[in-house]
Amino acid sequence: MDLFRHPLATFLAALRFLTILPISWKSEKDSRFFKASLFWFPLVGLCIGAVVSLVLFLGNESIPQAVMPLLTIFLLALVSGFLHLDGVADSGDGLLSSRPRQQALAIMRDSRSGAMGVICLIFLILGKYCVLDNLSFTNLVSAAFCMPIGGRVAILLSMTILPYARKGEGLGRLFYSKQNYCVSLAGLFLFMLSLAFIYLPALWFVTISLLLTVALFSFWCFKKLGGATGDTLGAVCELSEFSVSFGFLIMQNHG
């Protein structure tokens, strides 16, 4: 298995796909390692969360508190090259259209964003901002650490639940493998372990919020599209980041 024979190459394939880090070593072989790289998705999310939360922690004295939520949203989007936000826009155009399945999938392939996609982006970013702005600084840093882990775990869970919706090849299909179920369970375990380490009281609030988001969005994708696409996987990542932060807010208000 490539994961055990080439652990560094598979990790770098995941890192290159999920971030904008300019690491070129063995990049020409990424397509070979995409399936095995799924194992590293939650760990890459952990690395992203560690960097973003560290920036927030170090900037606590010099950055105005009112700017912290916006900075968190910007950094989490920037590190992925805004790829997942693009998935939100495309998914919004397709899922909210009145067209049948194949036409909705065709709409999602269009690089231009329609009104539905833009509206979805606006509401998602506003939603993230409203939630993060109502968190205490400690919970904001904790949420920033856990959000990218939860988002990448959500991608794995969605791939386990849903078949690939498009016929033929597509970006999302490159990652589908028989190991998706085991990898998603391992990712969920890492997510819950991280939550327990960061702030144990948030464990069940946040985990349930994440799982509900993945389940409901996956059901919608299956009913409308017949499965997942690369765009919907990006969208579920962003929606799950929001649900993780919302779980922290619920925990804070009930604490």
pLDDT in tens, 132-152: 999 999 999 999 999 999 999
pLDDT at 27: 65
Domain ranges of the chain: 2-254
User: Can you tell me whether residue 209 is helix, strand or coil?
Assistant: helix
Q: What is the amino acid identity at position 55?
A: V
Q: What is the mean pLDDT of the chain?
A: 90
User: Quick one: average pLDDT of 23-49?
Assistant: 81
On the question of pLDDT at 93 being above 90, the answer is yes
On the question of pLDDT at 174 being above 70, the answer is no
pLDDT at 74: 97
What span, in angstroms and rounded, lies between the C-alpha atoms of 189 and 170? 29
Greater confidence (23 vs 140) lies with: 140
On the question of pLDDT at 4 being above 60, the answer is no
On the question of pLDDT at 228 being above 70, the answer is yes
pLDDT at 191: 97
Structure token digits, residue 192: 């819950």
Contact of 48 with 81, CB cutoff 8 Å: no
Which helix or strand (DSSP H or E) is residue 124 part of?
helix 115-133
pLDDT at 177: 72
User: Quick one: average pLDDT of 58-87?
Assistant: 94
Residue 17 confidence class, pLDDT cut points 50, 70, 90: confident
On the question of pLDDT at 19 being above 80, the answer is yes
pLDDT at 232: 95
pLDDT at 201: 86
Please enumerate in sequence order all residues whose Cβ is within 8 A of that of 157, keeping only pairs 6 or more positions apart, or say none.
184, 187, 188, 211, 214, 218
Greater confidence (167 vs 55) lies with: 55
On the question of pLDDT at 171 being above 80, the answer is no
On the question of pLDDT at 36 being above 90, the answer is no
